[in-house]
Amino acid sequence: MRTKFTDIMGIDNPIVSAPMGGSAGGALAAAVSNGGGLGLIGGGRSDFEWIGPQIECAAGVLVGTRFNACEEALVDSEVVKAVLNGHGEDTERSGVFDIARGVAWPARYTGRTIRNEFLEQWRGREVDLTADAAARAEYRRAEQSGDMRVVPVWAGEAIDLITESLSATDVVRTMVSDAEGALRRILHET
């Protein structure tokens, strides 16, 4: 599927795996790239005032949650299970996990996660969590042990559409095929 974005990036399909810290490693990036998209490895940050307009004119799509449930994602099987069983109405935007993880992310750019006990406990009490070093240390211990009561499962509102764990290569190919089919139907109807 050719777009301005694919021409600029030298890729076959206008799909980019979001560089989700903790889950976007080399295997996921390679599988997305093998499917003709652009696979990114997690951990980077950028200035939104600059990157926002760039994304708007890219003529592609930035995908996060779908790749988080792929076979190659560097996440625990319980995270994949949570994504596959998740519902959009069970997600919430919050800065609680950024505070708990000690990530100095701008407060206005909150992350969307599936609600869990930790989020429920600290929602609306972000100032208290910031001041409570013991609670943040306990969070880190519980997160490292994989305690799903505290582990953030990053997920978008369309999580309901994710029903199985596939190879990222297959996900890219299916997304492109579905998009091409939709475009053909739209163009045929007009």
Q: Are 73 and 67 in contact (CB under 8 A)?
A: yes
Q: What is the pLDDT averaged over residues 100-109?
A: 88
Q: Which two tokens stand for residue 169?
A: 């290569």
Question: What confidence tens digit (pLDDT) does each residue in 32-81 have?
Answer: 889 999 888 764 334 444 344 444 444 566 688 999 999 999 999 999 99
Q: What is the pLDDT averaged over residues 138-147?
A: 96
pTM attached to this predicted model:
0.73
Angle at 84 between CA 80 and CA 89, to 5 degrees: 120
pLDDT given for residue 60 in this prediction: 61
* Ranges of each domain in the chain: 1-74+164-177, 87-154
